[in-house]
Structure 1
Amino acid sequence: MKTTRYFSFISFILMLALVVSGCGNSNKDDAGSDSSSSDMKEGGEVNLYTSRHYEVDDKIFADFTKETGIKVNIIKGEEDELIERLDREGKATKGDLFFTADAGRLNRAKEKDLLQSVDSETLSKNIPENLTDMDKQWFGLTKRARVIVYSKDKVDPSELSTYEDLTEDKWKGKVLIRSSENIYNQSLVASFIALNGKEDAKKWAQGIADNMARDPKGGDRDQAKAIAAGEGVLAVMNTYYFGQMLNSEDPEEKKVAEQLGVFFPNQDTTGTHINVSGIGVTKHAKNKENAIKLIEYLSSKKAQGDFAEANYEYPVNDEVKPTELLQSWGEFEEQDLNLSELGKNNADAVKIMNEVGWK
């Protein structure tokens, strides 16, 4: 009887130990899960409004999250729609960052009082001053040049020299370019205002309007395709579009690009026009610290290399080399001005283009 009670007691002790052990393990698992959740909570999040739609951007954001624990919530939309959304949402906005193409658009957000200044030694080191807003409300992250693309069969590159030369009679009915509504062209004219004054900028715009091969239509790629179709012999377009065409999965698009050459204008005068995709912290950012961390990461050598390799954009970080394709086109002199000037002169540029009949 004593033996039976003894074994019953031992069995009870063993069962109790198993229960306690199981609870301990369960608590340990919960703690591990909570720890992971806590780490992510410590990392927090950042909400990005972006008009860019490239796969490489998503990859870079994922790499940033992996490295920092900060989750990037991506809200995509058209440039002007996102600006209006930030304006409409005001203090209630969830947007911490605004990422878009062209200094002119970034300046629109600034003029609407949608951005705030940021002081960062990392950004000052990684991004040249001329690619940064004068008040540090936005920062250029990728760079593209607006060049002359020409038919190798119909144009000898020795005939090319400057943007101004495109207004000469020899190019009458041969120039292809996007409409005056396009921000890239508005910024191009705005750069001429900054460098040469309104009178010369208007003279150039008038000359381009007079020499167009057709009424403007389509995007930069469409201008290149129009050369191949015989509608003109040269076009003004951004380098990254041309790089994408040369590496396109569409054989016809690639074939078009292979018929064309790239020329960097104004190398002996004011330099080739450049612009950026840039980013700014919103005025009412709820996650400002994380927003700054993301911008700093995007300016790093790793992220800059990813941008350049995948999208044929020039890196803004001087420690990162352009892709082999871009290097094959050669080095070039850039316009010497702070890109903030493009936004400041945008309204005058649009007015000039309308006055000369640039459709």
Structure 2
Amino acid sequence: MRFKTLLMALAGALLLPGSAPLMATAQAAELNVYSHRQPFLIKPFLKAFEKETGTRVNVVFASKGLVQRLLSEGRRSPADVVLTVDIGRLYAYADKNLFARVSSPKLLENIPAHLRDADNRWFGLSKRARVVAISRERVKPAEIQRIEDLAAPKWKGRICSRPGSHVYNRALLASIIAAHGEEKAEKWARGLVANLARRPQGNDRAQVKAIFEGVCDVAIINSYYYGKLKTSKVPVQREWADAIRIVFTNQQDRGNHVNISGGGVAVHSKNRADAVRLLEFLTEPTAQKLYGEINFEFPVNSSVEASKEVKSWGAFKEDRVSIGRIATLIPVAQRVIDRVGW
């Protein structure tokens, strides 16, 4: 009885403002979503889904701990859909059997094979490129064409990075392992660390700020941060963006590494049909356009154009290695990161 009371209190504490308490009983026109994605990012999508389908959506937001929560809730979990970012996180849900296998021709049609699970448990819903940011004043675009170039001695003391153990850098390194093997990837990582202007710190915004301030000339960031800074309501952040260019790397070989945001149907969902419908909706034009307009991400659905701002960065070739393979290499990447001190 005490556990039930605690569970209800926790659900209430995590609900988005204005949403109804989650109920573990099935309701024909109601969905419960667990989300790592911030409320301001996902509410427009879910409101659009509600308007189109009449299905009410309740949301629990948590920056971490949702895997453990689903495990502890077990069959009593009210969750129907899980939304998150990073392939490593999606893979963790599937690996712990927290996602159901889904049969949906629409998802298979809208999402390229390399951006979804081979067993149809998780699905990429948007893409973000891990790009190189360079100083407009101090670096020529032609100087960096491949991510491998960042290990060259000429960049010693000129690169900034957030910690290597962050999920975005782990996935990037996993993509390099997929391309070159662990030994060569470790050599690259050691070269990168040797070139750092300061110890790894901060988020991607902080790396752009460091270029603006002259702390470094080069950084690794997710592409959407460029869009956020360019359109920021904070004038100084727009100045940071004006100080850099972004470079899509490896355009003459495998392409620039991409990661995804994505989702899956909770294995104990009481409303699986509507849960699948929500995932399908998120791959359709209305939602795919919102990903670009709200968060400057790239659509996974090839029939949908990127937003005006995102298109202004130029077309690029993406690395089409299976994102699922990247996920399996993340533990290897973390061991490399630990060894080189990134």
Deviations 1:183-223 (A, max 9, x none): 00000111111121111111111111111111111100000
The correspondence for 2:308, drawn from 307, 324, 335, is: 324
SS of 1:140 mapped into structure 2: strand
The one-letter code sitting in structure 2 at the alignment partner of 1:353 is: I
Alpha-carbon separation, structure 2, partners of 1:43 and 1:249? 41
* Equivalences for residues 62-101 of structure 1 within 5 A: 62-78=47-63, 80-101=64-85
- Partners of 2:35 and 2:83 within 8 A in 1: yes
Q: Is the 8 A contact 1:98 1:280 kept in 2?
A: yes
Q: RMSD across aligned C-alpha pairs, in angstroms?
A: 1.3
Q: Contact 1:43 / 1:69 at 8 angstroms: preserved in 2?
A: no
Residue 304 (structure 1) shift: 0.6
Find runs of 4+ consecutive structure 1 residues off by over 3 angstroms. none
| 2:246 equivalent to 1:277 | no
Is the contact made by 2:85 and 2:260 (CA closer than 8 Å) also made in structure 1? yes
The correspondence for 2:198, drawn from 214, 217, 226, is: 214
Counterparts of residues 1-359 of structure 1 (less than 5 Å): 43-78=28-63, 80-358=64-342
Question: Is this contact kept in 2: 1:147–1:272, CA < 8 A?
Answer: yes
Q: Is the 8 A contact 1:57 1:307 kept in 2?
A: no
> Structure 1, residues 233-260: CA drift from partner, whole Å, max 9, x if none?
0100001111111000111111110111
CA distance in 2, matches of 1:313, 1:238: 10
Relative to the length of structure 1, the TM-score reads: 0.86
CA distance in 1, matches of 2:306, 2:39: 18
CA contact (8 A) 1:123 1:299 kept: yes
TM-score under structure 2 length normalisation: 0.90
**How many positions carry a matched residue from both structures?**
317
1:23-61 CA-partner distances (Å, limit 9, x unpaired):
xxxxxxxxxxxxxxxxxx975211111111153521221
1:230 Cα shift?
Answer: 1.1
Shift of 1:181: 2.3
Q: Are 1:56 and 1:306, in contact at CA under 8 Å, matched by a contact in 2?
A: no
Shift of the 111–298 alpha-carbon distance from structure 1 to 2, 3 Å rule, reads same
Give the secondary-structure state (helix, strand or coil) at the position aligned to 2:315. coil
Give the secondary-structure state (helix, strand or coil) at the position aligned to 1:345: helix
**Between structures 1 and 2, the one with greater helix share:** 1
Shift of 1:162: 0.8
Matched residue of 2:65: which SS? helix
Q: Please, which runs of 5 or more residues in structure 1 have no aligned partner?
A: 1-40
CA separation of 1:42/1:137 partners in 2, compared to 1, >3 Å: closer, same or farther? closer
Q: Bigger CA drift: 319-328 or 222-231? A: 319-328
Distance across 2 between alignment mates of 1:316 and 1:54:
21
Taking every aligned residue pair, what percent have the same amino acid on both sides? 39
Contact 1:49–1:98 under 8 Å retained in 2:
yes
Q: Is the 8 A contact 2:292 2:310 kept in 1?
A: no
Which has the higher Rg, Structure 1 or Structure 2? Answer: 1
Counterpart residue type for residue 114 of structure 1: L
Extract unaligned runs of 5+ from structure 2. 1-25
* Contact 2:211–2:243 under 8 Å retained in 1: no
